[in-house]
Structure formats: C-alpha cells, structure tokens
Structure 1
Amino acid sequence: MIKDLRVDDRLIHGQIALTWPKALGVNRIIVANDGASQDKTQQMSLKMALPSDVKALIRSVEDTVTFFDNPKAKEADLMVIVGNVTDAEKLAQALGTLVERVNLANVGRFDGVPKEEKLAIGSSILLSKAESEALDRLLKIPNLKVVHQIIPDNSAKKLEDMM
C-alpha cells in the first residue's frame, strides 16, 4: 500500500528523511523518477540522505508501476516520491486503490518554466500548463485524497479547497 504519494521537486531531503517515514510508519521509500533512475550519482546522493533504518528504491515511473505487480509489494507500507504532478497522475491512474493519498508539497520551482507562466497554489506549488492539466486529471480520480502538507506537523489541506 502506498501510504503517501508525495510530489516534491527535491525528491529526498531533510523533511523526507527525518520526519515522513516515522509519521507514516514506513521504512521503505520508492523514488519514481526517470532522470534519477538513470543517474548513479544522484541515486547515491538520495540514498545517503536517509537514516540507516529507511531504505530507498529508485526506479523509473514505468518500473515503479511494474514493481507493484508483485503481491508482496502491494502488501508493504511504502512512501513513493515523484518530482512532478504528471508522474503522480500516471502512478495514481495505473495503481488505483494502492494509493491512499497524493500530497503535493513542493512543485515546479526548478523546472525551467518562468514563474509568471505558472499557476501558483499556495507558496510552494507552481504549476505549468501541462502540470495544471495533470492536476485536473488527478483531482477527478474517484476516492483519491489529494492534499497539500509540507511536514507531518502541518494539517493536510484539501487541494481543491486551495484552488
């Protein structure tokens, strides 16, 4: 079960490494990112950011979907991190009820699209046209919670209410 599908353009960083695994009760994180899955240096950096009791798998988005074909993977409590809304939408569509919620945390700050061309939702969500369209599709998935929650101590805000 995917306890949290987090959209965070930094992938693994201090908030992820130190607070989210404990709050979610997970000790495994999957980074679903096509670029990171091909970059050995980035993979080492991401894994080094985690405490020793939390393990990371770094896969492409497609390989992440395939990973969940294994019944053992479906039963494990996991956190999945993607770098953009488009990848979150692909995973949520493909994995269905395995995804408990999608958490748009930090999005669109480093994608090269000028800020003035983006839709801003709160202070940490900046969506290009393509990302905004992916969010619209994500919000239409029945029974899927889509929230904004930077750290576990913050309350989760429904994304629909923020728009």
Structure 2
Amino acid sequence: MNLKLVRIDDRFIHGQVAVAWTKFLDINQIIVANDEVANDEFQKTLMEMAKPPNVQVDILSISETIEKINADFFKNKNIILLVDSPGDILKMVNGGVDIKKVNIGGMRHKEGRKQITRTVALNNEDKETFKKLANLGIELELRAIPTDSKINFMKLLGG
C-alpha cells in the first residue's frame, strides 16, 4: 500500500481530486474515510459517480479504514485518502496508520469556524488538533492542486 496523498477536504471527491491529483500521482484507489458518508447510500452513490474511470473507490468509516489499512488490505495500490477533519487524521494516527504528511484542501465555513484562508475555516478544536498533528512530526501543507506551491499550514496558524 502506498498512501500517495492524505487530504482533508470536506467535498471529498471533486474536480481537484478526481482530475488533478489522481493523474499527477498515478492513483488507482481512493478511500473516503468518513463515518457519516459511509452510512449514507445517496452520498456513496454520488461519490461513485464522481470518481475517475479506472480508479477504485472505497467509502469506509474511520474504524474500518484503520482496520483495512493496518491489515494491508490495499496492497499494491496507489492511494488518496480523503477525510473531512483533522480529528479524523488524529484518530487514524492513534489507530496505527502511518501518516507523515497531510494536504489541507478545503474545510468550508460553518457556524463556529473562523475563515483562515479562502478555502479553510477552523474552530478552536481544529486548531488544537492541527497543533497535535504537527507535534507528532506530521507535515501539514495547504495546496489545492499539485501544481500550486506548498504552503506550510502551521505558519498560517502562527505555529
């Protein structure tokens, strides 16, 4: 298994992921790890429709994702792992998933969140979780598509 990209993006599979990242990284497997989406047949159908041809999509709960990755279920796959929050990344790391770098693509504005960049809005819990991830040695970058310049996400947060 080769985790080519671990990305926080609350839109999950959309143009940036389906076109730019999958081609750039030669992806043949997308994992959407989200408890809510894993239990919503309509959202699962939409994700399947949005995937690029010749790319397998698995939509799993966080615990199922941890189990399958740790069991090497995705052997010989080039993978994009998509989640919608830094908390889900921390759960995976605490569950034994080896994550060295996280790409922050988009976290839309919701009540209680403050806009940090054009595409990212965070609440205090999100900020604290990003700090925990950084303290674990995980590189955090902000970048929409592969040709964009990498931006050190912790510098945006003042850390």
TM-score using structure 2 length: 0.89
- CA RMSD after TM alignment: 1.7
Contact 1:65 1:95 in 2 (8 A): yes
Query: Is 6-15 or 87-96 further displaced after alignment?
Result: 87-96
Separation (CA, whole Å) in 2 of partners of 1:159 and 1:139: 10
1:156 to 131, 143, 150: 150
Displacement after TM superposition at 1:72 (Å): 4.7
* Counterpart position of 2:54: 53
* Counterpart position of 2:126: 131
Displacement after TM superposition at 1:70 (Å): 1.9
CA shift digits 1:113-136 (9 cap, x unpaired): 2xxx43433221111122122111
- 2:126 counterpart letter in structure 1: E
* Counterpart position of 2:139: 145
Separation (CA, whole Å) in 1 of partners of 2:87 and 2:118: 19
- 2:90 equivalent to 1:84: no
The runs of 5 or more residues in structure 2 that have no matched partner are none
TM-score using structure 1 length: 0.87
* Counterpart position of 2:99: 99
CA shift digits 1:10-65 (9 cap, x unpaired): 11111111111111221100000001100111101001001221111000011100
Separation (CA, whole Å) in 2 of partners of 1:157 and 1:74: 31
Contact 2:33 2:62 in 1 (8 A): yes
Displacement after TM superposition at 1:88 (Å): 1.9
Runs of 4+ in 1 over 6 A off after TM superposition: none
* Counterpart position of 2:24: 23
Separation (CA, whole Å) in 1 of partners of 2:24 and 2:94: 25
Contact 2:28 2:77 in 1 (8 A): no
- 2:152 counterpart letter in structure 1: K
Alignment length, in residue pairs? Answer: 156
